[in-house]
Structure 1
């Protein structure tokens, strides 16, 4: 820490806090249990870096999910920590803007709420903290904060307690794969911030899953209503099959066309217990997607192609015009098994069973998040119902387009076609398409 803390700010970091202060990189993701002292750590990191900043007009931020929450958690603590410096005339405190300014270098620390993240647009950020990251909408980081750090390569610390699949879990796992990122978790047994007898009481009185999530910082601890846990998905991502091991099984292609501008169009191949690398596109129209699906059919020669008809009617029509035998699937249609509310729920439950029985998936962060995102419940008739896409997006997660595309490969059983059947299909497609043929 900087020498300025000799002014008596009263901060004596615990071992885990000192470790994070010293070993931090540009982007840092720290999973911490409740009452670990994460907000205190974040505030002191901001003060330290602002006090020691050498460039002009340094600007540092603290963001909580809501402005009222930020004021209650951070603003009061920030002012309390800086009181000795205020008494010495070293800082200016602006209550209306929730900011402090260090007079010796002009650096500013300001408090924001993610409920009004538009206020961050246009700012240059030299460093910042995003607290309770699990409750933050992804666009706060992706569209606003991240671009604002580019000017002077600002740093960011993400802190919070795991709450299932969300921005926090996505960044935590992503950080392990990139050189300028780091992630770490500190359980209640690592920080020693809660008395041992109280830890034992919490463990006794809480459910095993809740204790694992809240105090052991276990991202993989599934909720009771979660269809697939992150543990299930991570296991599938680490499962590998040898080349040729799935040659006995049918090749199946699932195609999920985008609904809206921020959704993705996905072409997902699967053969037996192995899901292969998906093709993911943004901003392409149905004709372009149909061309890409046709190219995939020609190169991979699947035994069946299932396409979501809700958004892909144009894709289906075009492929059929070109002579391809594709199968439309109505997500909201009737399930084969009456125990499911609709076809989408049935496909996803089949997918979940496949994952848990040894399915292999690409080690793709977006895919893993998609698969672990949906929750389920039972309707009044006792049928299993899957969380709709729009409800998932309301929780701050992206539309599970990769998951839906993979689920489409479970629309119905598929038999492996013989080489003769595939050759016959290919020969039929070679004849020139005549759009007026059906009028004869």
Structure 2
């Protein structure tokens, strides 16, 4: 890389770095292991694109989760790479603004921290590198950077190491199949950035999960606070049971009505170890959802129907008017095992997790698998398990991420259910007699 004065910058990209530079698209997501050299890759990508920029007032950002982190990781390295240009007055360094301005075209590279997103509002961006994406607040990308790239169709490179389900995993999996996106993954065995003996030591001394996440870039490796890992969800999606396997077991429906405009209403059926493909609806009101649930009840004759009481009161009332026996479940209500769980929702999710580990089978649905692996948990002062709320998940993920599918499946574990006997099933079809799903427990 050189200017018109043939000043050369010190950069000899490794084979994997060359591949990243060549394979990038408008939006590029790179999962890289620790100490791979991703910051050098990012800085040189910014320098190359800024130096070659042909339009006026080019703006390029490097963003890390925190400003202090950005300064420590990137600012010193950027200045070091640009020192040959600074010596010939080809670039101006501004310490106060953490910026480098190229004299031949006026393009600027600036360093920012995601902890002060307002400092980046109102700009027109031509390119950006977002580092350690797993720790970045979702609104930085969704509300600020993405709109700023629209004016001149700017580009973005996301780099980082997997760390559970968050903004990084969301965009990594979303990139698959989109024409203007590219996702790449480079493990410690792909880059040769770390000595082989040291890699062997790390594998020996680190826990399997930590090594898989930090050095094999495994998004499915469970975090310490994940209730259900992505690998467990993937395994559950590969299982399939036949009608013979579930025959005679109770049929259960879980219904999670939408709470807000972006949420989905979901009807989920489960029988024994088999969960069936859910019915998902957007933008329907309570009356229409009640009609869809009623149709599912009529056609499938479930042994119990559990509905989230928080957003489903209208649906529940309508179904009861139609003569259907449905059970309302308050997510925030008292758990049946109140000494173990802070509320009913975490209890249901814990039952769901145990079911998956016991051999439960789910539809091979990417959104469902992601949702199951999304919530984190912890314990309160009384030693009760607490599960991350829907609202907190939506804040943590990219402007959404509400686990509507997974919550509907979790509802099928609200209470133990006994199957109806054949006489009860016949009577239900003809007279809609009331049925107590807990009889005989």
- TM-score using structure 2 length: 0.84
Q: CA RMSD in A?
A: 3.3
Query: Using the alignment, how far apart are the partners of 2:298 and 2:315 within structure 1?
Result: 16
Count residues in correspondence.
429
Match of 2:306 in 1: 306
| Counterpart check, 1:9 vs 2:26 | no
Q: Residues 413 and 59 (structure 1 numbering): CA distance in 2 closer, same or farther, change over 3 Å?
A: same
| Counterpart check, 1:368 vs 2:384 | no
Query: Using the alignment, how far apart are the partners of 2:421 and 2:82 within structure 1?
Result: 76
| Counterpart check, 1:93 vs 2:93 | yes
Aligned runs of 1:30-429 on 2, under 5 Å? Answer: 30-240=30-240, 249-259=249-259, 263-280=263-280, 286=286, 289-294=289-294, 296-297=296-297, 302-337=302-337, 340-341=340-341, 342-377=343-378, 384-389=385-390, 392=393, 395-396=396-397, 398-415=401-418, 425=428
Deviates more, 1:7-16 or 1:236-245: 236-245
Deviates more, 1:419-428 or 1:219-228: 419-428
Residue 77 (structure 1) shift: 1.7
Residue 46 (structure 1) shift: 1.1
Match of 1:27 in 2: 27
Residue 391 (structure 1) shift: 5.2
- TM-score using structure 1 length: 0.84
Deviates more, 1:268-277 or 1:378-387: 378-387
Deviates more, 1:178-187 or 1:257-266: 257-266
Q: Tell me if the contact between 1:56 and 1:105 (Cα under 8 Å) persists in the aligned partners.
A: yes
Query: Using the alignment, how far apart are the partners of 1:101 and 1:422 within structure 2?
Result: 77
Q: Tell me if the contact between 1:170 and 1:365 (Cα under 8 Å) persists in the aligned partners.
A: no
| Cα deviations by residue, 1:25-72 (Å, 9 ceiling, x for unpaired) | 222221112221111100101111121223333322211111222222
SS of equivalent to 2:11: coil
| Cα deviations by residue, 1:53-95 (Å, 9 ceiling, x for unpaired) | 2333332221111122222222222222112222222223333
Q: Tell me if the contact between 2:138 and 2:396 (Cα under 8 Å) persists in the aligned partners.
A: no
Q: Tell me if the contact between 1:339 and 1:384 (Cα under 8 Å) persists in the aligned partners.
A: no
Query: Using the alignment, how far apart are the partners of 1:43 and 1:171 within structure 2?
Result: 21
Match of 2:435 in 1: none
Q: Tell me if the contact between 1:174 and 1:365 (Cα under 8 Å) persists in the aligned partners.
A: no
Query: Using the alignment, how far apart are the partners of 2:71 and 2:322 within structure 1?
Result: 61
SS of equivalent to 1:170: helix
Residue 127 (structure 1) shift: 2.0
SS of equivalent to 2:328: strand
Residue 118 (structure 1) shift: 3.4
SS of equivalent to 1:30: strand
Q: Tell me if the contact between 1:264 and 1:281 (Cα under 8 Å) persists in the aligned partners.
A: yes
SS of equivalent to 1:7: coil
Query: Using the alignment, how far apart are the partners of 2:2 and 2:253 within structure 1?
Result: 58
Deviates more, 1:253-262 or 1:53-62: 253-262
Deviates more, 1:417-426 or 1:341-350: 417-426
Query: Using the alignment, how far apart are the partners of 2:262 and 2:96 within structure 1?
Result: 36
SS of equivalent to 2:156: strand
Q: Tell me if the contact between 1:4 and 1:51 (Cα under 8 Å) persists in the aligned partners.
A: no
Query: Using the alignment, how far apart are the partners of 1:99 and 1:185 within structure 2?
Result: 30
Q: Residues 242 and 48 (structure 1 numbering): CA distance in 2 closer, same or farther, change over 3 Å?
A: farther
Q: Residues 253 and 13 (structure 1 numbering): CA distance in 2 closer, same or farther, change over 3 Å?
A: same
List runs of 5+ in structure 2 lacking aligned partners: 433-441
Q: Tell me if the contact between 1:333 and 1:343 (Cα under 8 Å) persists in the aligned partners.
A: yes
Q: Residues 420 and 88 (structure 1 numbering): CA distance in 2 closer, same or farther, change over 3 Å?
A: farther
| Cα deviations by residue, 1:83-137 (Å, 9 ceiling, x for unpaired) | 2222222223333333323233332222222222234344333221110011112
